[in-house]
Amino acid sequence: MEELGLISELPIRRFTDNGAYLGLHSGDEVLLPQGYLKGNEAEGDLIEVFVYTDSEDRPVAVTERPKALLDEFAVLEVKERTSFGAFLDWGLLKDLFVPNAEMAKDMEVGSKHLIRVCVDHKTNRLIGVSKYQDFIEPAPPEFMSGLPLTGLIFDKTDLGFKVLVESQFEGLLYANEVFEKLELGEKRTVYLKKRRDDGKLDLQLLPPGREKYEEGAEKILSLLEQKGMLKLHDKSDPEEIKAMLGMSKKHFKQSIGQLYKARKIILLPDGIALNSET
């Protein structure tokens, strides 16, 4: 079935009490259950659907879109662990099954993992595979320092954050160079620092050429670049500063002093903001 795991526009062939039957390219039909119909559809209408298999491994169409299609990656959370595998939340009523044999490491309920959606050719159903390295390629030698890339944050180690780059390469953001909170599953623009000999990539969050500051100042600057303004100043309550930035008031004052001296921020009566003139 060529539509399995993909988004397709399929025509309505007929209606039953169970829903609408859509025509597949093979000539067969797939059910779009009644709950996914708006009530104003007619035979011949094209419906955009995702096709997968239900709990009894029967093909079914839904109008929802999962977090990853066939041959795509996503960071998914484990909802249930069994003796034969794990079930992960991929945004559909039926969770995505990852067999034990396809796990890169053991999975626990609540943990998040980089998953690629694949077809199990023995059962002809969609499964998840966490052995991502089977699908990773060495980055091409022509990748140059400073190149902007699309990254998916998928794991945290003692060294830093592992990143899936352009859905096919592996990179690393070093922990001592990250001054903001990153979430697993977050997509970010990252910048190439260096291509290593093994084809993996050293990455950074900042575009090349931007001056780096002391860790506290860098954290404040990163937040300001996201928000534009922070309602914190040298008269703010120490607990308020700690709750928002995770630093002491003394460290905060030193950091904003460094940024003010570099003309990166302006001081407002009720906070600090980026200096738009730099």
- For the chain, the domains span 7-62, 73-133, 148-204, 215-274
CA-CA-CA-CA torsion sign (120, 125, 130, 133): positive
- Examine domains 73-133 and 215-274 and report if their fold is the same: no
Long-range contact set of residues 23-32: C-beta below 8 Å, sequence gap at least 24 = 26/1, 26/2, 28/1, 30/3, 30/59, 30/60, 30/61, 31/58, 31/59, 31/60, 31/61, 32/60, 32/61, 32/62, 32/63
pTM higher than 0.75, yes or no?
yes
Domain over 7-62 is classified CATH 2.40.50.140: yes
Instruction: Write down the pLDDT at residue 207.
Output: 78
Q: Which CATH class is domain 148-204?
A: mainly beta
pLDDT score recorded for residue 276 = 82
Residue in 46, 73, 74, 42 with CA at minimum distance from that of residue 61: 46
Beta-bridged to residue 116, according to DSSP, are 73, 129
96/86 Cα distance (integer angstroms): 8
Q: What is the pLDDT of residue 184?
A: 97
The structure tokens listed for 170 are 């592996």
Distance CA 63, CA 252 (A): 49
Sort 7 into a burial class: Cβ within 10 Å, 0-12 / 13-18 / 19+: middle
CATH of region 215-274: 1.10.10.10
- Report the alpha-carbon distance of residue 161 to residue 164 in Å, rounded: 10
196 SS3 class: coil
State how far the Cα of 222 lies from the Cα of 245, in Å rounded to an integer.
Answer: 11
Query: Residues for the chain: how many in total?
Result: 278
- Residue 277 has a pLDDT of 78
Supply the pLDDT for residue 66.
97
> Do strands 169-174 and 201-204 pair parallel, antiparallel, or not at all (unpaired)?
parallel
Q: What is the pLDDT of residue 166?
A: 97
Report the pLDDT value the prediction gives residue 261, as an integer from 0 to 100: 86
pLDDT at 213: 65
The CATH number fitting domain 73-133, selected from 3.40.720.10, 3.30.365.10, 2.30.38.10, 2.40.50.140: 2.40.50.140
The neighbour count for residue 33, using CB atoms within 10 Å, is: 15
The closest alpha carbon to 153, from 193, 192, 181, 130, belongs to 181
Average pLDDT along the chain, 278 residues, taken 10 residues at a time? 94 96 95 94 96 88 97 98 97 95 96 97 92 95 93 96 97 88 93 94 82 76 88 90 87 89 90 85
Tell me the HSE value of 274 on the side-chain side, using a 13 A CA sphere: 12
pLDDT, tens only, 151-177 = 999 999 999 999 999 999 999 999 988
Instruction: Provide the pLDDT for residue 278.
Output: 65
Helix extents (H) in the chain: 215-227, 238-245, 249-261
